[in-house]
Amino acid sequence: MASGIRDKVVILGMGCSEFGERWDCASEDLMVEAFAEAVRDAGIDPGEIEAAWLGSALDDVNVGNSALPLATALRLGPISVTRVENMCATGTEALRAATYAVAAGACDIALALGVEKLKDTGYGGLPLRTKGLANDLWMPYGSAPGGFAQLAGAYSARHGISAPDLKRAMAHVSWKSHQNGALNAKAHLRKAVSMETILEAPMIADPLGLFDCCGVSDGAACAIVTTPDIARGLGKSDLVSVKAVQVTGSHGWESQYGEWDGSYVRNTRLSAARAYAEAGVHDPRQSLGLVEVHDCFSVTELVTMEDLGLSAEGRATFDILDGRYDRGGAVPCQTDGGLKCFGHPVGASGLRMAYEVYSQLLGRAGDRQLGDINLGLTHNLGGAPFNSVAAVSILGRLGD
Amino acid sequence: MGDNAILATGAYLPLLRFDRTAAAKALRWSGLGGGQKGRRAVAAHDEDALTMAVEAARLATADAPAPGTIIFGSTSAPFTERAHGTLVGEALNLSPDIRSLDVAGCRRAGFAALLDRLGQSGRTSLVTTGERRPVKPGSSQELGWGDGAAAALVGPGEGLARLLGQASINRDLVDVYASAGRPAPYAAEERWVRDIAVAEILAPAIRTALAEAGVKPGDVTLAAVPDPVSGTYKAAAAACGLKAPNVCADIQAAAGDLGAALPLFGLALALERAAPGDVVLVAGFGSGCDVGVFRVTANPARPSAGPALAEGHGFDEYVRLLSLEGAVDLDWGPRSEADPKVPASVLWRGARAMHGFIGGICRKTGVVQFPKSRISVSPGSHEIDTQDDIRLVEVPARVVSITADRLNFSPDPPFHFGLIQFENGARVMMEMVDTGRTTPAVGDAMRMRFRIKAADRKRGFRTYFWKAAPLARPHLEA
C-alpha cells in the first residue's frame, strides 16, 4: 500500500487572475497575472523554481501545444516544463504533477499553472472540436450541458425525486453560488440573482436552464509548492499542506457496460474514497470545513454532494434546499462562487478551487471568510458523467 | 415470365408530414402554392434516398432469405461516385461478395429493375428505392412530391405475387426533367403531359401487358400507377376499360409522389389491400413506362405501407419545410461551423462496423459492447481479441439517460442524445431521432434507424450510422 503524499508537500504561494471576459488579455498576460501574485506570496525569486507544469485543456483556442508558452511568458529559464491536459480536470492535474515531483524529491520548488483563454471563440460555451476521429463515425456531437443534463432524468428515476423538486434544488445551487460570487472581486459574475430568475431562464439542455450552466471564462491560477522543511527555512509558519490528490478516469464502464444507471459519477466516488484514505479523513461530513466542487452545471453539484459522501443517497435535493451547502451551512460549498460565478477557464479551474481553499485556510477570503476551518476539498471533473476524469484534492493545515 | 415471385415488400416514410394547405397560406401573397390538400412526407435533416431505402430494405428482408443481388434505385441518390448498393449491403450486414448495382435516370428505374429481376430465375434479389428530391419553393412539385422509400425482394418460391404479363414503352416524353445544371425539376404544361402520357404511353402499355397476362381490364382488382399529373390514371383507366382504384392516388395524397419509390410503394400497398387471387397492375412512369400485371398469392406477413401512411408527425411551419428541403440556408451561427471531415482511411477501418452496427461479444464473459475493441470492456478483462461480431440493429433497446440539447447545433432542433441500453447488454451513447419534439423518458423502448451521421457540406460528403427512435409513431388524424 502506497504511503501517499499527505503532508509531504506544502503550498508556498498561490495566485489567481481575475476571471471573466478578459478582452484586455492574452493567455500570456493571464499567466503573468497569476504568477506574479504567487511569487509575491511565496516570497521567492522566480529563478528558484526548478520545474513547471502547465495545464491547458483546449490547445486550438488557447496557448497551443507544450508548456513552452508558459516558459516564455514567465521567462522561467532553462528548466523542465511540461504541459498536462485532462479535460476540465486539467488544473488539478498540473497541481498533482508538481506535488508529486516535490514529494519524490525530484525538485525542491515546483510550479503548477493553469490557464485558458476561451472568450476569443466568438460564442458561448466550449469550443467545437474539429478533428476527424474514429469516434466521430458514431458518437453524437452533444454539448457539455447536454452530457450533464442527462444526470437529471436518471437521478429522478433512481431516487423518485419529482422534476419540480429537482429543478428547485438545482436552482438553489446556482442561487447560492451567485450569492457567494457577488462577494468575490475576482469573479466573472458578481451579481446575486433571484430564484425566480433562475427558474424561468431559457432552456439550454433539458432540464438545465441558462442559470443551471456555468459559462466559460478567461483566467489563470497557479501554485508554487515545496517541502515543509524548505518552507520553514523560508520563514513560513502557517503552512497549508497537500493532504491528498487523487484522479480516476473512465475506461468504458459507464458508457459501454450495462451496470451504471446514469444518476451519479462513479469516478468522483472512487477519487473521494481514495483521497479520504490518503488524507486520513474518516468522516468528511464532520471534517471538511469547505468544499469547492465542479459545478459546471447545477445538477452536477447536486449529485456530487452524494458522490463525495456529504449527503446520503437520494437526499442531496433536500439538503441543498435546507441550506446545508450555503455559506452559512454545515458544509459551505463554492464560497468563491464556483465555476458558476467565479468562472470556468478550463485549465485553471482546479487550481482556482485550490486557491479558494488555501485562501480560506489562511484567513484571506475577505467578505466571504468562513470561521475556523482545518480541511478543505476540491473536486475537479473532466469530460461528461458517462466518460469522465474526476480529481479530488484535500488541503489542510500542516500537522493537523 | 420466369420462376421468380415477389417474396416480400417493405415501405418506409419519414416521420414528418407537412400540411399542404399551410404552404398555400404562407404563399398566398404570391399566388403560388396552388390548392393542394393532404400531406407531404418530409425527410428529416439526416435522411436521404439511401437511408430511407435501407429502412425499406430492412422491412423487405426481415425473416427472408439473404439476397444475392442488391439493386438501389433513385433519381436523387446522394452520391454520383460511391455505390449506394454497397452501402445498403453493409447496412443490412450482407456478405460483401454479393452483386450490387445502382439504377437511376428516371422515376421508373427501380420498377424496371424489379421486372428485370422477376425474369431472372433462381436468384434472390433485393430492389430498394428511395427518393429525397430537391424542389423549388412554390413549385407544384414542392407540395406534390414526397420523400420516401420502398423495396421488394424477388426470388424463387410462391411468395406474395407472380408476374403474369408485362410491357414497356420507351419514349422521351419530357414531362419533367432535372439535370446537373438544374437539380430541381422543370415541368412541362400539365394538360399536354396528361394527354400524351395517356394516349401514347400508358394506355398502349397497359393494353399490351394485360393481353400478355391474359387478363381482362375489368378483372384487375387494384392498380398502382403513378399520376405524373393529376387525372392521368383516371384517363388511362377509362381508355383501357380498367375499373380498379389506384392506390398511388392515396399515396400521393397522403405522402406525395415518391418518384422512383412510388411504383414499389404502390406494389406494397396493393399487396396489403388485395386478397389472394386478385390481379394487381403496377406501372412505372418516366421517359416512357413499364407495366406489370401480377396475380396475388398471399398478403405480406407484416404490412408496412399502410402503417407508414397512417402514422407520422404532422407540422405546418412552412419555413421549417423550406429549411428541411435545403431551400433556405438559415444562419445557425458559429456552432454550426464544426468541420466533420472524416479521413477516408478512418472510414475504411470503421465504416463496415458502423454501417452494420456491429459490436463485439466476448467469448469469455458474454459481455456485449459497441464498438468492438481489442480488449473487452468486461470488468477485469485483460485478454486480447476475445470478441466475435454481433449486430445490434434489431436488438430491443431502452433509454438510460437523455436530454434535449438546445446548445448543440442541429438543423432541426432540439438535438436529443443519451445512453441507450440494449437487451443483450450493449450500451451506446446515441443520437435520438423521430421524437416529434417530445423528449423520450428514461426507460422508453427505442428502435434503430439508419441515418446520416455527419454531413460535410464543405466537401459534399456524408457518413452514416444508426440512431435511436421511439418504437411507436403517433397515428395521423385523417
What is the CATH number for B434? Answer: 2.40.50
- Residue B35 C-alpha cell reads as 390548392
Segment B46-92, tens digit of pLDDT: 999 999 999 999 999 998 889 999 999 999 999 999 999 999 999 99
Delimit the domains of chain A by residue range: 10-122+218-240, 144-215+244-397
- Would you say A331 and A376 are in contact if contact means Cβ atoms under 8 Å apart? no
* pLDDT at residue A362, rounded to an integer: 97
Residue type, B54: V
User: What value of ipTM does the predicted structure carry?
Assistant: 0.89
Phi, psi dihedrals of residue A355, rounded to the nearest 5°: -60, -40
Same domain, B454 and B362: no
Q: At what angle do helices B109-118 and B262-273 cross, to 10 degrees?
A: 60
CA distance A147 to chain B (A): 8
Could you list the beta-strand ranges (E) of chain A.
10-16, 51-55, 80-84, 110-117, 203-205, 208-209, 218-226, 240-249, 290-292, 375-384, 387-397
Q: What is the DSSP letter of A135?
A: G
**How far apart, in whole angstroms, are the C-alpha atoms of residue A182 and residue B49?**
55
Closest alpha carbon within chain B to A209: B406
What are the respective helix, strand and coil percentages of chain B, to the nearest 5? 30, 30, 40
Cis, peptide link before residue B371, omega less than 30° from 0: yes
Confidence of residue B283 (pLDDT cuts 50, 70, 90): very high
* pLDDT at residue B380, rounded to an integer: 86
* pLDDT at residue A132, rounded to an integer: 62
| Count of residues making up chain B | 478
**How far apart, in whole angstroms, are the C-alpha atoms of residue A83 and residue A155?**
36
**How far apart, in whole angstroms, are the C-alpha atoms of residue B328 and residue B321?**
9
Residue carrying the nine cell digits 488539478: A92
Phi/psi class of residue B130: alpha, beta or left (left: φ > 0; alpha: ψ in -120 to 50)? beta
Neighboring chain B residues of A204 at a CB cutoff of 8 Å: 406-407
Q: Which residue range forms the structural domain that includes residue B369?
A: 358-391
* pLDDT at residue A1, rounded to an integer: 65
Helix (H, G, I), strand (E, B) or coil at A160: coil
Residue to mutate among B377, B419, B456, with most A CBs inside 10 A, is B419
Neighboring chain A residues of B354 at a CB cutoff of 8 Å: 137-138
| Count of residues making up chain A | 400
Q: Which of A11, A60, A17, A8 is nearest to A345 (CA)?
A: A17
Residue to mutate among B342, B369, B408, B420, with most A CBs inside 10 A, is B408
- Would you say A19 and A219 are in contact if contact means Cβ atoms under 8 Å apart? yes
B68: number of Cβ within 10 Å: 17
Is B310's pLDDT higher than 80? yes
Closest alpha carbon within chain B to A264: B401
Chain A to chain B Cβ contacts (< 8 Å): 148
Closest alpha carbon within chain B to A250: B377
- Strand order through the sheet with B358-362: B368-369, B358-362, B387-391
Is B477's pLDDT higher than 90? no
- Residue B332 C-alpha cell reads as 445557425
Which one has a higher pLDDT value, B389 or A134? B389
- Would you say B57 and B449 are in contact if contact means Cβ atoms under 8 Å apart? no
Interchain CB contact of A47 with B (< 8 Å): no
Contact (CB<8Å) B415/A157: no
Exposure class string for A303-315: b at 16+ Cβ within 10 A, else e: bbbbbbbbbeeeb
Same domain, B350 and B363: no
Same domain, B362 and B299: no
* B336 occurs within a structural domain: no
Structural domain count, chain B: 3
**How far apart, in whole angstroms, are the C-alpha atoms of residue B397 and residue B15?**
20
Minimal Cβ distance to A146: which of B350, B407, B454: B407
Interchain CB contact of A133 with B (< 8 Å): yes
Helix (H, G, I), strand (E, B) or coil at A362: coil
* B311 occurs within a structural domain: yes
Q: Which of A63, A86, A66, A34 is nearest to A381 (CA)?
A: A86
Residues contacting B130, CB < 8 A, separation 6+ = B12, B48, B49, B50, B51, B52, B53, B54, B56, B72, B74, B76, B148, B149, B260, B261
Helix (H, G, I), strand (E, B) or coil at B194: helix
Tell me the pLDDT of chain A (400 aa) as tens digits: 688 999 999 999 999 999 999 999 999 999 999 999 999 999 999 999 999 999 999 877 778 899 999 999 999 999 999 999 999 999 999 999 999 999 999 999 999 999 999 988 888 888 877 666 778 889 998 899 999 999 999 999 999 999 999 999 999 999 999 999 999 999 999 999 999 999 999 999 999 999 999 989 999 999 999 999 999 999 999 999 999 999 999 999 999 998 999 999 999 999 999 999 999 999 999 999 999 999 999 999 999 999 999 999 999 999 999 999 999 999 999 999 999 999 999 999 999 999 999 999 999 999 999 998 999 999 999 999 999 999 999 999 998 7
H helix runs in B255-302, sequence order: 262-273
Question: A10-122+218-240: which CATH architecture?
Answer: 3-Layer(aba) Sandwich (3.40)
Interchain CB contact of A139 with B (< 8 Å): yes
* pLDDT at residue B36, rounded to an integer: 82
Same domain, B297 and B377: no
Minimal Cβ distance to A122: which of B334, B343, B418: B334
DSSP string, B430-452: EEE---TT-PPPTT-EEEEEEEE
Cα B358 to Cα A25, A391, B92, B371, B382: the distances in Å are 49, 34, 11, 7, 22
Same domain, B364 and B429: no
Dihedral in degrees, nearest 10, Cα atoms B257, B258, B260, B266: -90
Cis, peptide link before residue B474, omega less than 30° from 0: no
Residue carrying the nine cell digits 508554487: A224
> What percent of chain B stands above pLDDT 90?
90
* pLDDT at residue B343, rounded to an integer: 85
**How far apart, in whole angstroms, are the C-alpha atoms of residue B273 and residue B277?**
12
**E strand or H helix that includes residue A306:** helix A298-307
Residues contacting A227, CB < 8 A, separation 6+ = A8, A9, A10, A102, A108
Question: A144-215+244-397: which CATH architecture?
Answer: 3-Layer(aba) Sandwich (3.40)
- Would you say B165 and B213 are in contact if contact means Cβ atoms under 8 Å apart? yes
Query: Whole-number mean pLDDT of chain B?
Result: 95
CB-count exposure of residue B475 (10 Å: 0-12, 13-18, 19+): exposed
**How far apart, in whole angstroms, are the C-alpha atoms of residue B167 and residue B215?**
13
Residue B365 CA from chain centroid, whole number: 39
Contact (CB<8Å) B453/A137: yes
Q: What is the DSSP letter of B197?
A: I
Which one has a higher pLDDT value, B120 or B215? B215
Q: What is the DSSP letter of B398?
A: E
Confidence of residue B2 (pLDDT cuts 50, 70, 90): low
- Residue A135 C-alpha cell reads as 469516434
Interchain CB contact of A204 with B (< 8 Å): yes
Give the side-chain half-sphere CA count within 13 A for B447.
Answer: 10
Same domain, B27 and B163: yes
Neighboring chain B residues of A216 at a CB cutoff of 8 Å: none
Interchain CB contact of A129 with B (< 8 Å): yes
Interchain CB contact of A209 with B (< 8 Å): no
Residue type, B46: D
* B72 occurs within a structural domain: yes
* B227 occurs within a structural domain: yes
- Residue B102 C-alpha cell reads as 445502382
Sign of CA pseudo-dihedral B431, B434, B436, B439: negative
Residues contacting A116, CB < 8 A, separation 6+ = A27, A56, A57, A58, A62, A216, A217, A218, A219, A220, A345, A346, A347, A348
Segment A154-190, tens digit of pLDDT: 999 999 999 999 999 999 999 999 999 999 999 999 9
* B161 occurs within a structural domain: yes
- Residue A105 C-alpha cell reads as 524529491
* pLDDT at residue B260, rounded to an integer: 98
Minimal Cβ distance to A138: which of B401, B408, B465: B465
Neighboring chain B residues of A156 at a CB cutoff of 8 Å: 442
Strands B368-369 and B387-391: unpaired
* pLDDT at residue A131, rounded to an integer: 63
Same domain, B311 and B438: no
- Residue B192 C-alpha cell reads as 399536354
Contact (CB<8Å) A150/B341: no
